[in-house]
Chains A and B, each alone.
Chain A
């Protein structure tokens, strides 16, 4: 089935970062280094003075590296180099998952930003419990929905009711991945004016 194959490919590609930005930075750095080295080689072939240093002088400098001064500056550059390298390698190897969820609709691929789901759930809770929208905070991650409520005094809403509302709504969306619901209620201090 080439179709489901294409769908799977779209889902995988669209839920993971292509690392295009980091790759561009790395490649531009490499290009600059190569262009510089190339220029120095050409200048030395034409027996012209180098821009900064001729290849032969660079070789001598490298050979004497253990005794070069100032040590702290060379160490600092080396550490910076290694750190940038570590960042690149980590970016190359980590999955780079994007904050998106798949919702199921037959014959189509539907991917939704987590923030869209969070805002919609918060609105839904507010509509069905009477708690002001501003007092509902919802966070959606890969495996959990985090609900934080700060209900107004006098409107008791049991956690189980919140959980029910969220679960029912997630069923309506038809989430592709099972997702846990966590509810937290923060008590408003009585007698304060908001």
Chain B
């Protein structure tokens, strides 16, 4: 679980998709449809004269540069930077603190419980269960609420109901230990490892 902006993901996908469709469909139309070809030749030629004209009119005095070209280059660089920012913002939202209480106005001061604490507290119980192949704890801020994500990969053929009941119990104990009911999300996964670690004995 992470805090990727999914709307941005889909919006970018949609936008780039529409641009690609427009380019592709436009090229086909211009090549295969005479009316479109005529329109394209005139429009493109006049666009070219307009661009040449704009570049000439915006010449920076005493240089060979023009504001037109500098401006378009700036726009391209800006777009590149925006796209790189969009890529860099993928994922994230993870935090280390599970519980945060009080603050400056609380006489008891602030109590912060780290993910590591929950992880250590659950380790003994989870590790001793042979039906649990692997597990992982992370904390993600969901709308400013720290949400503990416990991800479990059980051995194949293990009842998810039992796992959920067991973990439910463990989390109740953790809540009693920390004195705070931590909103939690449990995901039960299948994976290559769980299939390989089949619990059926086979006679080869």
Query: Which of A's residues lie within 8 Å of B, judged by CB?
Result: 2-3, 5-7, 9-10, 13-14, 16, 18-20, 22-24, 26-31, 34-35, 37-38, 41-42, 44-45, 47, 59-60, 62-66, 68, 71, 74-75, 77-89, 91-93, 100, 103, 105, 107-113, 115-117, 119-120, 122-124, 133, 169, 172-174
| Interface stretch (choices B98-106, B107-115, B122-130, B139-147) | B139-147
- Complex-state Cα separation, A123 to B161, whole angstroms: 13
Q: In whole Å, how far is B148's beta carbon from the nearest beta carbon of chain A? A: 9
Q: Is the CB of A122 within 8 A of B157?
A: yes
Q: Is the CB of B143 within 8 A of A9?
A: yes
Question: Can you name 6 A-B pairs with beta carbons within 8 Å?
Answer: A13-B1, A24-B90, A66-B37, A86-B21, A91-B17, A124-B159
Residues of B within 8 A of A37 (CB): 76
Q: Is the CB of B161 within 8 A of A173?
A: yes
Query: Which of B's residues lie within 8 Å of A, judged by CB?
Result: 1, 4, 6, 9-14, 16-28, 30-32, 37, 40-41, 44-45, 48, 51, 64-65, 69-70, 72-73, 76-77, 79-80, 83-84, 86-87, 90, 142-143, 145, 147, 154, 156-161, 164-165, 168, 171, 181, 183-190, 194, 200
Q: In whole Å, how far is B169's beta carbon from the nearest beta carbon of chain A? A: 10
Q: Is the interface of A mostly helix, strand, loop or mixed?
A: helix
Q: Is the CB of A18 within 8 A of B4?
A: yes
Q: Is the CB of B161 within 8 A of A66?
A: no
Q: Is the CB of A111 within 8 A of B185?
A: yes
Q: Is the CB of A38 within 8 A of B73?
A: yes
Contact of B160 among A5, A60, A78, A112 (CB under 8 A): A112
Q: Is the CB of A85 within 8 A of B19?
A: yes
- Complex-state Cα separation, A186 to B181, whole angstroms: 50
- Complex-state Cα separation, A83 to B17, whole angstroms: 9
Q: Is the CB of B17 within 8 A of A89?
A: yes
Q: Is the CB of A14 within 8 A of B187?
A: yes
Contact of A89 among B21, B40, B79, B184 (CB under 8 A): B21
Q: Is the CB of A34 within 8 A of B90?
A: no
Q: In whole Å, how far is B93's beta carbon from the nearest beta carbon of chain A? A: 10
Q: In whole Å, how far is A15's beta carbon from the nearest beta carbon of chain B? A: 10
Tell me which of A20, A23, A115, A173 has the highest count of chain B C-beta atoms within 10 A of its own C-beta.
Answer: A23
Known A38-B77, A105-B168; contact A74-B188, beta-carbon cutoff 8 A: no
- Complex-state Cα separation, A20 to B90, whole angstroms: 8
